[in-house]
Structure 1
Amino acid sequence: MDRCLLELFDNGMRVTEQRKRLLTLLATSKHPQAAMELYGKMKRTFPGLSYETIYLNLRLFLDLRLIESMLVGSDVRYRALLAEQAPHYQFICMDCKQAIRVTFDPADSAFPMPERFQSVHYKLDIFGYCKDCCGRESSSAMQ
């Protein structure tokens, strides 16, 4: 989190309470967040906040590579990129949006790697349905 704030400062951006709160929400969330979800959570603390402010700050954070975005169903969702996280991939439930993180290093696997290539960073998300959501679909189909 401190790295993110320092990155804002180093790029001439003001470190406001709204930006701190938005980064905290993204860093502590168990699943990727939609802009409207973030807006709803932020509006409680900052009543005069506009949706445009959330969206513009998300764009700024993306440009500074503090967060990443992904398409889940028809929603664009955001999550923090924390430098201290171990390399991982995620299984993301398309129903409840839960992200199940699994530590992974391509060098330690049977993952096909081209010759003369050293992996430095990677991003791999696998989309499907978690056990709980699959169970709900099965039980509702039986009724």
Structure 2
Amino acid sequence: MTAVEKAIETLKKNGYKYTDKREQILSIFANENRYLPAKDVHVLLKESYPTISYDTIYRNLYTFVGLDVLEETELNGEKMFRFGCMHEGHHHHFICTTCGMTKNIEMCPMNFFEEQLTGCEIDSHRFEIFGKCEKCSKKRPK
């Protein structure tokens, strides 16, 4: 079963209707396999759905996030989305600020922070590193 098929199944299990637009949004994320801002999704959908609004796209993106189909992060004040990571086990991500590509980081720095926060109760955490991937850093003018 593909990621898109699993996502559609999750939608249906949670009482959401199947629509061609939803499937196409999910297909964009499956094909791109990286973080994308809503504006990029909008541009890619405009060909098939010229009248689609940002509101429709955002509403669907946040529905997918709420169902753990998509992950979200923020880069320079802009929300970015991608398919939920299928990697097993606790890990974090490096995210390329140019192309949105991600790499898994297997190490978690929480032990260091827990030592700094004695007496505090940590409910959750997220750790992301932003920069340029190997491919994008080679493209930079010297």
TM-score category (smaller protein): 0.7 to 0.9
1:136 pairs with 134, 137, 140, which one?
Answer: 140
Report matched runs for 1:1-143 at 5 Å: 1=3, 2-82=5-85, 84-87=86-89, 88-94=91-97, 96-102=98-104, 104=106, 112=111, 124-131=127-134, 132-133=136-137, 136=140, 139=142
Deviation at 1:50, TM superposition (A): 1.4
Paired positions, count: 127
Kept in 1: contact 2:33–2:82 (CA 8 A): no
Deviation string, structure 1 residues 10-45 (Cα, Å, up to 9, x no partner) = 111111010011011112224200001001001111
Unpaired stretches in structure 1, ≥5 consecutive residues: 115-121
Distance 1:15 1:49, change over 3 A: same
Residue type of the alignment partner of 2:55: E
Q: RMSD of the alignment, in Å?
A: 2.7
SS at match of 2:94: strand
Q: Which runs of 4+ in 1 moved over 2 A?
A: 84-90, 102-106, 110-114, 122-125, 129-135
Kept in 2: contact 1:90–1:99 (CA 8 A): no
What is the percent sequence identity of the aligned residues?
24
State the distance in 2 between where 1:28 and 1:125 align: 23
State the distance in 2 between where 1:27 and 1:86 align: 18
Unpaired stretches in structure 2, ≥5 consecutive residues: 115-124
Deviation at 1:72, TM superposition (A): 1.2
Q: TM-score, normalised by structure 2?
A: 0.73
SS at match of 1:45: coil
Deviation at 1:74, TM superposition (A): 2.3
Q: TM-score, normalised by structure 1?
A: 0.72
